[in-house]
Amino acid sequence: MENKRVFTEWLPRTEAEQIYGFGLYQGGVPPGEKIRVVKVGDDVEACAGTHCTSTGIIGPIKILKTERIQDGVERIEFAAGTAAVRAMQKIESLLVDSAKTLSVPPEHLPGSVDRFFGEWKDLKKENERLKEELARSRVYRMLGDASEVAGLKVVAEQVSGADSLELHKIATELLKNENVVALLASDFEGVKIVASAGEKAMKCGVNAGSLVREMSKIVGGGGGGKPALAMGGGTDPTRIQDALSRGLELIKVSCKQA
């Protein structure tokens, strides 16, 4: 840590500008005919603030955060002196605690974090692949259990614990069959509802968006979407079966009117 001397002198403004240029004012323009010029090494600025006589008096400086305010302007947050020491001690404590969690020495922490992050990404991909595979297997079973309404296959089922993404994948897979209508609901974080209608089903007047909108009202929520695929939900999982029954009724009405 360098202990540079801080030099100050009072000069007439015009003289200071001639010697040092307008770079003096990078920190702002102080008022008055005379200005105080502060020099630390190669840095020179006009400043009327409080300064120490040497940089070593300040002690260590720890940069805590940098933030871009606008083009060419950066805000730097830092701690100095004992505050900087406390900041560094806090960071060291966090590193030691993190190393203990991963059961590695602190110096091995970066490599261990990279390895665990890579493994997490691989597991996430595998989880998504398994979800898609599970969705396809569920589709085969659902099609076998589907009821028939006016020549359409209707899947109306509660898929317990499935999130919106999982329901969406199942509904999308069912959408490949032009004569299938899917009404899917889950008790995940309240109620999630997804509906899909194949090409033939839409020609019969079935609209997935309308189905979801009406079903969601029953479970205390809302939703909607396109005629082929829609999503919604609510807050009352005790009425999921009522919502599925309502969806089935609306399909029967649509087919009669077509």
What pLDDT shows up at residue 55?
A: 85
For the segment 14-45, what is each residue's pLDDT rounded down to a tens digit?
Answer: 998 899 888 888 878 888 889 999 999 888 99
Among 248, 194, 197, 257, which Cα is nearest to 227's? 197
Half-sphere exposure of 56 (CA within 13 A, CB side): 5
pLDDT tier at 197, thresholds 50, 70, 90: very high
Mean pLDDT of 247-256: 88
What pLDDT shows up at residue 217?
A: 95
For the segment 221-231, what is each residue's pLDDT rounded down to a tens digit?
Answer: 999 899 999 99
Half-sphere exposure of 182 (CA within 13 A, CB side): 33
For the segment 95-146, what is each residue's pLDDT rounded down to a tens digit?
Answer: 999 999 999 999 999 999 999 999 999 999 999 888 888 878 888 888 888 8
Helix intervals (H) in 59-175? 82-102, 109-145, 164-174
Task: Please list, in sequence order, all residues whose beta carbon lies within 8 angstroms of the beta carbon of residue 126, skipping any fewer than 6 positions away.
Answer: none
What pLDDT shows up at residue 257?
A: 62
More confident residue, 48 or 171: 171
What pLDDT shows up at residue 258?
A: 55
* Distance (Å, whole) CA 174 – CA 193: 15
- Domains of the chain plus CATH, in order, are 6-58 (3.30.54.20), 148-257 (3.10.310.40)
What pLDDT shows up at residue 1?
A: 66
What pLDDT shows up at residue 157?
A: 93
Among 171, 224, 180, which Cα is nearest to 202's? 180
Element (H, E) at 25: none
Phi, psi dihedral angles at 230 (to 5 degrees):
-150, 155
What pLDDT shows up at residue 114?
A: 94
For the segment 71-99, what is each residue's pLDDT rounded down to a tens digit?
Answer: 888 899 999 999 999 999 999 999 999 99
**Chain centroid to CA 232:** 21
182: its two tokens: 């899917």
Among 216, 211, 229, which Cα is nearest to 167's? 229
Contact present, 185 and 206 (Cβ < 8 Å): no
What pLDDT shows up at residue 143?
A: 87
Residue with tokens 């309240």: 190
Among 234, 239, 188, which Cα is nearest to 213's? 234
For the segment 167-195, what is each residue's pLDDT rounded down to a tens digit?
Answer: 998 999 898 888 999 999 999 999 999 99
pLDDT value at 63 more than 80: yes
For the segment 147-162, what is each residue's pLDDT rounded down to a tens digit?
Answer: 888 889 999 999 988 8
Contact present, 81 and 60 (Cβ < 8 Å): yes
Between strands 152-158 and 180-186, the pairing is parallel
Contact present, 142 and 155 (Cβ < 8 Å): yes
Buried b (16+ CB within 10 A) or exposed e, 201-231: bbebbbbbbbbbbbbbebbebebbbebbbbb
2: its two tokens: 């360098």
